[in-house]
A and B are shown apart, each in its own frame.
Chain A
Amino acid sequence: MILKDLSYRYKVPMLLSATILITGIVISAVLVWRTAGDLKADLYRNAIEVGSVLSRTLPAAIKHDDLWSAYQIVNAARVDDPENPRLLIVLDKNHQVYVSGEPGRFPVLSYLRNYGVELAGIEKTIVTKPSLQPYPIDRPENTSIYAVLPMVDDGIAVGTLIIGYPRAMLLPRYLDMGWRIAYSALLVLAILLPIGWYIGKLSVQPLTHLAHCLGEVGRVAPRDVQCDLIESKDEFGQLGVSFRQMLLELQEKQRLEQKVFTSERLVAVGRLAAGVAHEINNPLGGMLNAINTLRRHGHADALTEQTLQLQERGLHQIKDTVSALLVEARSDTHELTPGDISDVHTLLQSQVQKKAIQLGWSSSLTRSVHLPSTPVRQVLLNLSLNAVVAARQRCEVNCLLDREHRQFSIIVSNDGQEIKQDQLAHLFEPFVHFSESGNGLGLWVTYQLVQQLKGEIEVSSGAGQTSFIVRLPLRAVA
């Protein structure tokens, strides 16, 4: 069905218009029906009026058998409309035509039964239903509507006046009336339809907007769905609230998924790096031992010595790299103290002054906490150095350290260049360079350390501000 697939943007205005249209038609039909009834009633009333005028003179004329007077009276009551002749027949007591408006058609003394079934029926009614009161004869099979008006003289019916109105006469009036009603109805519809259409469209607008917004979901990321929904307490408003709630949940879900995905990847990479590092470390140690042994006991010529030095440097470089990859948060160090924090602050000073950076430093740490000092210091140093490096000249870097309940948090933020979205996804991977300097292992190491401390690290970058948030759970006191 086509209607089912049609947009509510059209369906509601159409339904509203249809309702208006049907209402208009029904009202018009009722009006026509009522007025048609009135028209007939008017006709009958007119007949009664004509009859009452004639009843002042006609009975006397009939009683005195003054046919000419009776004819003049009846003739005067005729309407000279050749298209709609009003039939006037006066019957005498014997139900013979006494006089008629058209004596040529209904001669004096003739019987109505001679002029067709219709008039025969009228005669029969008059004969079988003697009455002193006027009554109408309106039979659907008749071509005319009749009024039967007894001509009463001193309580006795001396004759009967029959007035016939052709139905055809009513037709142009019905049509005229129908047209008038139709015109008025059209006028009202012409006013109401656009209003109805507009109201319909207006009331559906929130729905279509919501549908559009819902269509966006899935096509673009939930956070990019732009939807200004009307705030109200009606169903649309409730829908809007639910929609926004759903968007938020979707965003959260996506964020979590992303986080899980990233951390799983980093874990895998870390495992791989550690495995490779271990595998390399063993032969590496052997190779360095061998070079040492050869130096100590062998007598190498100049060329060999030069080669050995070259090999030794290369192997040391490999060892450095491997040990950098093989991050290990040693837990055997002392607990983190406020002094460790101020050490880092002191270490930063030279870089801070070089770039004339405004460093905000705030620590709520007043005593030692149950965290190994070395990895935490390294994490803090890595992040704050990165922030200083990434900050523009004379900009701001803030470090916030806070201990609350069973958690220690480090927040490092700067107002340097933002980290791009695609960079964020690979931020903690090894050998990812975002700056000219550095070996691309700083954040990798930081991440690995945080992981090993069972903490978590988050980055948010936007609006000229980049923040790293590290949350580390405090160890239970042994």
Chain B
Amino acid sequence: MSGEFLSGIEKSGVWIKHLIFNSKVHNFQAHSLINGVRMLAIPAAPREKLMKEMLLRVVVLGMLLALQTSPVLAEKHPPRPYKIGLTTVFLDDQTSFLEAWSGYLEKRLGRRVEFVQRKSYREINKLIINQELDAAWICGLPYTRLQANKQNNLLAVALYQGQPLYQSYLIVPATDKTSTNIIDLKNRVFAYSDPDSNSGFLVPQVLMLKQGIDPRHFFAKTFFTWSHRDVIVAVAKGLAQGGAVDGYVWETLAKIRPDITSKTRVIQRSPKFGFPPFVVRTQLPAAEVQRLRAVLLGMNRNQAGKKLLQRLNLDGFVAGNDHLFDGIRSADRYYDRSQQ
């Protein structure tokens, strides 16, 4: 009994870690989860004592946090670090890689680099709009939408297979041997990645609309996994019978976790679109924009950078061109029109 119980606890630990790292739950949720699991491990009698203890800890922690973020102390750590937002347009769950990458960037920028991850694209968009982030690696769709309101600027675009382009994949579980088209997925459960994703939402929506299908009533059920990787997992596990995913993410995952991707089958590949770009906030000084761009563009010119790019399954970064995203722009307009 206790064996299973403990393994349950252990598992819960892994699960909570997973949730926290992916920022898929709010702080409050994570906290209550941890508490819940801790409660399980402790007999009823000491629980009350523990509750008091924890309450005390939370208060002390809060005070410490307040001290840390106070302007008086912040002055001790000039200059302000670069805050770079990351979204799930790449495999953002590799913490060791992010560590190495931030180290690389810090070394070349001469300033601390802080990666910021959020559950949804929308939250990162908001931080860019509010000038809270200096830069962010976002999807082409939010870029065009923000660009339309002059709320972000293009910094660089990644080169994937030698081109700053990528595709959206329509995937089904490998057990589904018959489906070849999105039409075959009628009345199935379908997984999108993020409502602000081009490849993980807009592309299949437009694909359906162009075939005269109303996406709102076509599937039996749809849901968002808030990450391309999780769309692949959801389809692989059979939770969804179809999903739209960033082709670059799928191919990259196929290299490091073929056991997951092999449980899925790509049935449709979309036309190519501009690769998810790095953007900067509008008020970031031009000199810093240049500096950031130079560091990114220079990554494929040194060994350390190349190594990081290899892990990203990318060839490098280019300055890019706004016209790369015209395809997304027109698809978005089409989608907008159909919504009205």
Contacts and interface: CB of A to CB of B under 8 A. Distances in A.
Given A53-B37, A68-B191, A68-B230, A77 B12 contact: yes
Contacts of A75: 15
A411 B321 CA distance: 156
B32 interface: yes
A107 B12 contact: no
Given A71-B239, A104-B238, A107-B238, A53 B40 contact: yes
A66 interface: yes
B40 A65 contact: no
Interface stretch (B2-10, B58-66, B291-299): B2-10
B12 A78 contact: no
Contacts of A173: 1
Interface string A180-205: 00000000000000000000000000
A72 B1 contact: no
Interface stretch (B92-100, B198-206, B220-228): B220-228
A428 B223 CA distance: 133
A67 B191 CA distance: 9
Contact of A71 (B29, B37, B234): B234
B114 to A, nearest CB: 26
B241 interface: yes
B189 to A, nearest CB: 5
A56 B19 contact: no
A68 B221 contact: no
B11 interface: yes
B215 interface: no
Contacts of A57: 25, 29, 32-33
Contacts of A107: 189, 238, 241
B7 A79 contact: yes
Contacts of A68: 191, 223-226, 230, 234, 239
A65 B223 contact: yes
A106 to B, nearest CB: 9
Contacts of A49: 5, 40
Interface in A17-43: 39, 42-43
A72 B223 CA distance: 13
Nearest to B19: A72
A46 interface: yes
Interface in B232-279: 234, 237-241
Nearest to B230: A68
Nearest to B1: A42
Max chain A Cβ within 10 angstroms of own Cβ: one of B11, B15, B24, B239: B239
Contacts of B224: 66, 68
B311 interface: no
Contact of A103 (B7, B8, B24, B238): B238
B33 A56 contact: yes
Contacts of B226: 68
Given A49-B40, A71-B239, A108-B221, A76 B1 contact: no
A109 to B, nearest CB: 5
B36 A53 contact: yes
A79 B12 CA distance: 10
B36 A46 contact: no
Contact of B221 (A42, A46, A109): A109
Max chain A Cβ within 10 angstroms of own Cβ: one of B8, B16, B37: B8
A401 B226 CA distance: 137
Contacts of B16: 76
B337 to A, nearest CB: 27
Max chain B Cβ within 10 angstroms of own Cβ: one of A50, A68, A86, A99: A68
B4 A46 contact: yes
A68 to B, nearest CB: 4
Contacts of B210: none
Q: Which applies to chain B's interface (DSSP): helix, strand, loop or mixed? A: helix
B119 to A, nearest CB: 10
B36 A56 contact: yes
Contacts of B19: 72
A66 B19 CA distance: 14
B14 interface: yes
A108 B7 contact: no
A234 interface: no
B175 interface: yes
B8 A109 contact: no
B37 A72 contact: no
A475 B191 CA distance: 142
A103 B221 CA distance: 14
B333 interface: no
A71 B189 CA distance: 13
Contacts of A39: 1
Interface string A76-104: 11111100001000000000000100111
Contacts of B14: 76
A73 B14 CA distance: 11
Given A68-B226, A107-B189, A46 B5 contact: yes
Nearest to B4: A79
B126 interface: no
Contacts of B25: 57, 69
Interface of A: 39, 42-43, 46, 49-50, 52-53, 56-57, 65-69, 71-73, 75-81, 86, 99, 102-105, 107-109, 173
14 contacts: A46-B8, A53-B40, A56-B32, A57-B25, A57-B29, A57-B32, A67-B223, A68-B191, A76-B15, A77-B8, A81-B4, A107-B241, A108-B239, A108-B240
By Cβ-Cβ distance, the 8 closest A-B pairs, closest first, are A76-B15, A104-B238, A67-B223, A103-B239, A68-B225, A103-B238, A53-B36, A42-B1
Given A78-B11, A79-B11, 16 more contacts: A42-B1, A43-B1, A46-B1, A46-B4, A56-B32, A57-B25, A65-B223, A67-B239, A76-B14, A77-B8, A103-B237, A103-B239, A104-B175, A104-B238, A105-B238, A108-B240
